């Protein structure tokens, strides 16, 4: 980044095409692909750098030739993650797998190297107002979260705070997870850095992946 601390936001869209049933209602692979693509098509109408991270091995060939950077891996074959994975398998919380995907993308993304900040967004959601909101945030903003602090579809940070906000979940002296609620983890971590609380942001009605409900705002 320049000496003037120029602000440049990127977005990391988290996706899981093949879920193996872990904490999900929408299990159909093709339905999930189309849900993600509908969202990504809308994000392509913005000027935001777009990184899609997929953690079940799907490569999104539909996005070839676009400006989207696709980063794909398989969580269960990720050797670096195996030690932590044995703890995750005890919990029905897909958010913990997402946490690994975010870090995986941060470590490998070429687009993020050109950004000062990024926001992770659950891949099925397009937020029309987000780009304009992000443009108004100053460089000193170290964290962002959506209006409801107990939800985590939208969480972001300045890149020098990645290890604060998106570090792996801690384990205690008995090798048990300190918490298995990823929402609680993000809420507590965001609270300790200078952060912005985003306004309630309307979205097109979108079916949630883990619950049989429709989201109309984030």
For residue 82, pLDDT over 70 is answered with no
Q: How much is the pLDDT for 88?
A: 53
By CB neighbour count within 10 A (0-12 exposed, 13-18 middle, 19+ buried), where does 194 fall? exposed
pLDDT tens profile 22-57? 667 788 999 999 999 999 999 999 999 999 999 999
The dihedral built from the CA positions of residue 147, 96, 30 and 64, taken in this order, carries a sign that is: positive
C-alpha span between 58 and 15 (Å, rounded): 9
For residue 195, pLDDT over 70 is answered with yes
For residue 129, pLDDT over 70 is answered with yes
Q: How much is the pLDDT for 149?
A: 94
State what percent of residues in the chain have pLDDT above 90: 69
| 93-109 average pLDDT score | 86
**Closest Cα partner for 179 from 201, 153, 157, 150?**
150
What is the CATH code of the structural domain delimited by 9-217? 3.90.550.10
Q: How much is the pLDDT for 3?
A: 47
Global confidence as pTM: 0.91
- List the single range of 7-11, 117-121, 150-154, 176-180 with lowest mean pLDDT: 176-180
Domain layout of the chain by residue ranges: 9-217
C-alpha span between 213 and 25 (Å, rounded): 10
The strand pair at 202-207 and 214-217 is best described as: antiparallel
Q: Give the residue with greater pLDDT, 100 vs 178.
A: 100
Q: How much is the pLDDT for 75?
A: 80
Q: Which residues contact residue 184 at a Cβ distance below 8 angstroms, ignoring those fewer than 6 apart?
A: 150
Q: How much is the pLDDT for 198?
A: 98
Which residue matches tokens 């070429």?
A: 110
| Helix residue ranges per DSSP H, the chain | 29-43, 82-88, 94-108, 130-135, 162-165, 182-190
**Closest Cα partner for 11 from 123, 100, 98?**
123
- Residue 147 near residue 197 (C-beta atoms within 8 A): yes
């Amino acid at each position: 980044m320049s000496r003037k601390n120029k602000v440049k936001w990127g977005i990391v869209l988290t996706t899981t095409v093949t879920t193996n049933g872990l904490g999900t209602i929408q299990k159909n692979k093709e339905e999930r692909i189309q849900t993600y693509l509908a969202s990504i098509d809308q994000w392509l109408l913005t000027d935001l750098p777009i990184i899609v991270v997929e953690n079940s091995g799907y490569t999104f060939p539909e996005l070839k030739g676009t400006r989207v950077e696709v980063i794909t891996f398989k969580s269960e074959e990720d050797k670096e993650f195996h030690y932590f994975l044995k703890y995750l398998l005890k919990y029905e919380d897909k958010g913990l797998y997402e946490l690994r995907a975010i870090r995986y993308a941060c470590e490998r993304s070429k687009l993020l190297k050109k950004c000062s900040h990024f926001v992770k967004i659950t891949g099925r959601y397009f937020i029309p107002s987000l780009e304009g909101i992000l443009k108004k945030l100053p460089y000193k903003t170290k964290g962002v979260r959506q209006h409801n602090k107990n939800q985590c579809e939208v969480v972001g940070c300045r890149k020098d705070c990645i290890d604060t906000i998106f570090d792996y979940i801690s384990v205690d002296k008995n090798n048990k997870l300190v918490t298995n609620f990823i929402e609680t983890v993000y809420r507590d971590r965001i609270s300790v850095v200078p952060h912005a609380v985003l306004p309630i942001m309307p979205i097109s009605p979108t079916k949630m992946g883990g619950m049989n409900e429709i989201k109309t705002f984030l």
